[in-house]
Structure 1
Amino acid sequence: MGARMAGGQVRMQRIDARARFLPVGDTAFAVEFGTRIDPAINALVHRTAALLAAAPPEGLVETVPSFRSLLVHYDPRRTSAQALQMFIGALELEDAAGDAPARVWRIPVLYGGEAGPDLAEVAAATGLSEPEVIALHAGTLYRVYVQGFLPGFAYLGDLPEALDLPRRTTPRVRVPPGSVAIAQRMSGIYPVESPGGWHLLGNTPLRFFDPLWSPPTLFAPGDGVRFVPVEADEHAATREAVARGSYRVETEGTPA
């Protein structure tokens, strides 16, 4: 990667010097920046997507960011993979150490009980007490890497290693909306009722997707997320405020 020069300046480096291009069918290819889930790699993915969104080249249809690569869809009647790869490869990026989140959402969570039916099981599997599991989960600042699986479902990393567990052996047929869950080194929030195989630690009454919103999801890639433990009465009051449309999600203590 590019080196930091004297005076604190950062050397820019072409994308083709730090990424490789992989074919994906005959109308798409991937720009791969690494082989692991890493905040710095993910930052490069989203910086590249932002550059292409700001000045899209001829024939570009859309880009789809993932943890470590950017999928590029193009119109073969207007361009070619080779031409587009040359264009993208010549773009320059600064080094990334994992950009600090521009905003950090504070998400109220009622842990345990009916809201988090797997909390005791997670505690037993990790050798921690239930309060220790809650403290570890809520004490982490998470990064929104990507969104997928369901509209508004964000993959949040990086979960503390002490809570690293595989998915449940038997997935649930129905997971309630707002369920806060973990699996491997990720946490997530189910935005709607759906099947799911992650471990459920708690529940939040907030909404994370609405097709009438602009944009339609609460989170965006690169955002930060912090979980805030609440008691049952505050959880219920927040649910009522959300239903009335009067609740404003906080970002580090400031209304969003």
Structure 2
Amino acid sequence: MAAPLSPPRLLPSGDSAITVEFSRNIDDDANRRVLALDRAIAGSPVTGVTETVPTYRSLLVHYDPVQIGFAELGEQLLALAQRPIPSAAKTRRWRIPVVYGGEHGIDLEDVAKALDTTPDDIVARHVAGDYRVAMIGFTPGWSYLSGLAPSLQMPRRQNPRLLTPAGTISIGGVQTGVQCLAGPSGWHLLGQTAVRTYHLHREPTFLLEPGDHITFTPVDAKTFKEQDRAAEAGEFVAELMAS
């Protein structure tokens, strides 16, 4: 018999939201519990719940305090959180093309120097990884991935950049990520992908979902330009692999 799951912490977030916290660290097991609770609420709607927002280690649950109170909702959430985590029936796996280095990955050489190796070795380590989408956030389509090899983990930049390109593939701390839109970042930029994880005029608008698995494959600059035109027209560019 499986050991009972430890109960999460319930933290009030204003007067109309509860944070259900499963861990204080970035942890895949905790993230699986976050996503399992999110699915449980979606499958068996709880009265008064208006929205859920999954993160790495907690689930933010918005509710209408006129319909349900903190204590009553907390009891229901704890009960749902104690359910055994169902095994995923099907896992989506995506292969995402990346052009590494040069103008597309301006930190690649510095990362290689900091880790006492070569840019080619950094690329080889990065594409060897099997990553998992832990959460989507910060800006539309920004996909935070767990599974970064310890040999690639390094502190974020001391001076974040105010603007980094759309499609940036970067590393920071114990994470790697896919940045869809241009925006600020303190991560190290290794490369760039043409894949739009968010595209307002495409169905689906968001390509990746928490729980999806990701691998990266290197492409040259010419291929990137061709893929970028296709992606702008609404093509996925990313390859959906058999699970």
Q: CA deviation at 1:19?
A: 1.6
Q: CA deviation at 1:33?
A: 1.4
Corresponding pairs, count: 242
Change (3 A) 1:73 1:240: closer
Q: Give, in whole Å, the separation in 1 of the partners of 2:212 and 2:159.
A: 31
Structure 1 residue 73 and structure 2 residue 40: aligned? no
Change (3 A) 1:215 1:79: farther
Please point out which of 80, 84, 87 is paired with 1:94. Answer: 84
SS, match of residue 104 in structure 2: coil
Change (3 A) 1:242 1:212: closer
Q: CA deviation at 1:211?
A: 2.8
Q: CA deviation at 1:247?
A: 5.2
Note if contact 2:135-2:210 (Cα within 8 Å) is conserved in structure 1. yes
Note if contact 2:51-2:61 (Cα within 8 Å) is conserved in structure 1. yes
TM-score w.r.t. the length of structure 1 is 0.87
2:35 maps to what in 1?
46
Structure 1 residue 191 and structure 2 residue 180: aligned? yes
Please point out which of 87, 96, 100 is paired with 1:107. Answer: 96
For the pair shown, which has the larger CA radius of gyration, 1 or 2?
1
Please point out which of 170, 173, 181 is paired with 1:181. Answer: 170
Q: Give, in whole Å, the separation in 2 of the partners of 1:68 and 1:190.
A: 20
One-letter amino acid of the structure 2 residue matched with residue 74 of structure 1: Y
SS, match of residue 123 in structure 1: helix
Q: CA RMSD in A?
A: 2.2
SS, match of residue 114 in structure 1: helix
SS, match of residue 102 in structure 1: coil
Q: CA deviation at 1:232?
A: 2.1
1:50-90 CA distances to partner (integer Å, 9 max, x unpaired)?
Answer: 11111111111111111111111111111111111122222
Note if contact 1:112-1:201 (Cα within 8 Å) is conserved in structure 2. yes
SS, match of residue 61 in structure 1: strand
1:136-190 CA distances to partner (integer Å, 9 max, x unpaired)?
Answer: 1111011111111111001111211111111112222321111111111111122
Note if contact 1:101-1:223 (Cα within 8 Å) is conserved in structure 2. no
Matching of residues 237-256 of structure 1 within 5 Å? 237-246=226-235, 248-252=237-241
Structure 1 residue 122 and structure 2 residue 111: aligned? yes
Q: CA deviation at 1:109?
A: 0.4
Change (3 A) 1:89 1:230: same
Note if contact 2:201-2:234 (Cα within 8 Å) is conserved in structure 1. no
Note if contact 2:108-2:190 (Cα within 8 Å) is conserved in structure 1. yes
State which drifts further: 139-148 or 243-252: 243-252
Note if contact 1:209-1:216 (Cα within 8 Å) is conserved in structure 2. yes
Q: Give, in whole Å, the separation in 2 of the partners of 1:72 and 1:23.
A: 10
Q: Give, in whole Å, the separation in 1 of the partners of 2:125 and 2:90.
A: 20
1:142 maps to what in 2?
131
One-letter amino acid of the structure 2 residue matched with residue 224 of structure 1: H
State which drifts further: 77-86 or 190-199: 190-199
SS, match of residue 22 in structure 1: strand
* Structure 1, gaps ≥5 residues long: 5-10
Please point out which of 19, 28, 37 is paired with 2:26. Answer: 37
Q: Give, in whole Å, the separation in 1 of the partners of 2:147 and 2:235.
A: 31
* Structure 2, gaps ≥5 residues long: none
